[in-house]
Amino acid sequence: MALEGRRRDQRTRPAGIFVLWSGSLQSRPALSNQDTNIPVIDRRPHHAVLHAVQALPDFRRLLELRAVSQFGDGLFQAGLVGGLLFSPDRAATPWAIAGSFAALFLPYSLLGPFVGALLDRWDRRQVLIAANLGRLLVMICVGALLADAASDKPILFGALIVNGFTRFVSSGLSAALPHVVPTEQVVSMNSVATAVGAVSAFVGANVMLLPRWLMGAGDTSAAVVIWLAVLPVALALWLSVRFHRHLLGPDDSARAVRGSVAYAVVTGWIYGLRSVANVPTVTATLTGLAAHRMVFGINTLMVLVIVRHGGGEHVAGFAVTVVFVAAAGLGSFLANLVMPAAVRRWGRYATANWALGIAAVVQLSGAGLQIPVLIACSLVLGTAGQVVKLCADSAMQLDVDDALRGHVFAVQDALFWLAFIVAITASAAVIPDDGKSSALMAAGAVVYLVGLALHATLGKRSRTSGTV
């Protein structure tokens, strides 16, 4: 009872940053369409964010968990990419790069919505504990495989399992956020959480440069990086244990999936896709997000091939790739500063439309394929893409019933990587040996425009029903 009282007190505490009520087709049924048409905005200054975070102890714990989790993930992913794609001992043709990404992310992308149903069935605290423990143990094994100079297949298989656990953790953290934040602060606190996660992943990815510089570009340095990543994951495991049972959800409601656990898993895709289709704000923003991820896949492959073709398998060439990814990461961070203010002024619908339109123009401006220009484009595109993703996150956290929120976040995660893999695989079929293709850059601009058209069209349904 004391726990429920504290959660209820957190949810009903007066707004700390700004208030953006969004109409919902599934959650908050007590609100009428008339209520959802009125955006209630708290215009206090942005420095109040820190005070708001301090006033939400459970959110602060969730933030700490996200920070160390994504630091470990950034370190692990950078070590893996350095060991497999930028090792002088391993080949990395365009098809090999595409195949590596597909092997790492495609299986869980297809299975994720099935497994994601468990986030709406089991205590999310227990899921976070089990997932962090699982990825810790498998990370140790992946490091051992690299140290033993094993072939790519067992390393990729181990990394696939690690990524599955990591994405389970990520979806669980996103689905749990509304349980530790008052409804009127979900948009702003989600931006804070995403910013902290992006910075943590960026720092983790750059930490791997030190052992690579000290020990060279071989498998041994990659193994050391993987083993270093075990430390923050172990800390994430401990932080997961600190939460009270059932604090992070899921809630039981009339919309919860009934039946056995097996039934919930088997029907995971069905309930997830149905929930997405029933909420126009989610449908619209996910189409825009898919367009961004496809363009990011095209650009990522081009940069990797251009760097490799220029003899960039060593530290200097790998650093160029890190700068490219870092620029996108910095853009993502900036988006967390821009998005709440933009939504306050224009609403989620117009904000995402503007982001996609700007992205199309910027993508086309990089058709000259000069590395400095591509890095600058990566910065702006990272900002635009993250704005769209934050709009999607807000739609799922505000407009979707908690009993189905895990399903929807699992579908988003699957779409996030499926779009990337499809684009990078299709690009590998047409990209020249040196990676320089202005036509692919132009194709990326077209993809953004298609995403803009779909978002604008589908988003009209939400505006008609009073959801912004």
CATH number where 57 lies:
1.20.1250.20
- Report the percent of the chain where pLDDT is more than 70: 79
CA distance 390 to 451: 16
Q: Is residue 16 part of a domain?
A: no
- Report the percent of the chain where pLDDT is more than 90: 32
Q: Is residue 6 part of a domain?
A: no
> Highest-confidence range of 51-55, 253-257, 268-272, 275-279, by mean pLDDT?
275-279
Confidence grade of residue 257 (pLDDT, cut at 50, 70, 90): low
Residue 233 has pLDDT above 50, yes or no: yes
Q: Is residue 232 part of a domain?
A: yes
pLDDT score at 70: 94
Q: Is residue 317 part of a domain?
A: yes
Provide the domain count of the chain. Answer: 1
pLDDT score at 263: 65
Residue 138 has pLDDT above 70, yes or no: yes
pLDDT score at 266: 65
Residue 105 has pLDDT above 50, yes or no: yes
Write the pLDDT tens digit of every residue in 409-426: 888 888 988 999 999 999
Which stretch of 116-130, 228-242, 362-376 has the lowest confidence by average pLDDT? 116-130
pLDDT score at 7: 43
pTM for this entry: 0.72
pLDDT score at 19: 25
Question: What does the pLDDT average to over 236-258?
Answer: 79
Is pLDDT larger for residue 401 or for residue 40? Answer: 401
Write the pLDDT tens digit of every residue in 308-359: 776 544 555 667 777 888 888 889 888 988 888 888 888 889 999 999 999 9
Q: Is residue 105 part of a domain?
A: yes
Q: Is residue 376 part of a domain?
A: yes
| SS3 letters across the chain | CHHHHHHHHHHHCCCCCCCCCCCCCCCCCCCCHHHHCCCCCCCCCCCHHHHHHHCCHHHHHHHHHHHHHHHHHHHHHHHHHHHHCCCCCCCCCHHHHHHHHHHHHHHHHHHHHHHHHHHHCCCHHHHHHHHHHHHHHHHHHHHHHHHCCCCHHHHHHHHHHHHHHHHHHHHHHHHHHHHCCCHHHHHHHHHHHHHHHHHHHHHHHHHCHHHHHHHCCCHHHHHHHHHHHHHHHHHHHHHHHCCCCCCCCCCCCCCCCCCCHHHHHHCHHHHHHHHHHHCHHHHHHHHHHHHHHHHHHHHHHHHHHHHHHCCCCCHHHHHHHHHHHHHHHHHHHHHHHHHHHHHHHHHHHHHHHHHHHHHHHHHHHCCCCCHHHHHHHHHHHHHHHHHHHHHHHHHHHHHCCHHHHHHHHHHHHHHHHHHHHHHHHHHHHHCCCCCCCHHHHHHHHHHHHHHHHHHHHHHHHHHHCCCC
Q: Is residue 60 part of a domain?
A: yes
Question: What does the pLDDT average to over 11-27?
Answer: 31
> Highest-confidence range of 114-123, 144-153, 228-237, by mean pLDDT?
228-237
Q: Is residue 20 part of a domain?
A: no
Residue 213 has pLDDT above 60, yes or no: yes
Range of the domain at 134: 46-464
- Residue 433 identity (one-letter amino acid): D
Rounded to the nearest integer, the mean pLDDT of the chain is: 80
pLDDT score at 362: 96
Residue 285 has pLDDT above 90, yes or no: yes
Using an 8 Å Cβ cutoff, are 200 and 71 in contact?
Answer: yes
The Cβ of residue 156 has, within 10 Å, a number of other Cβ atoms equal to 19
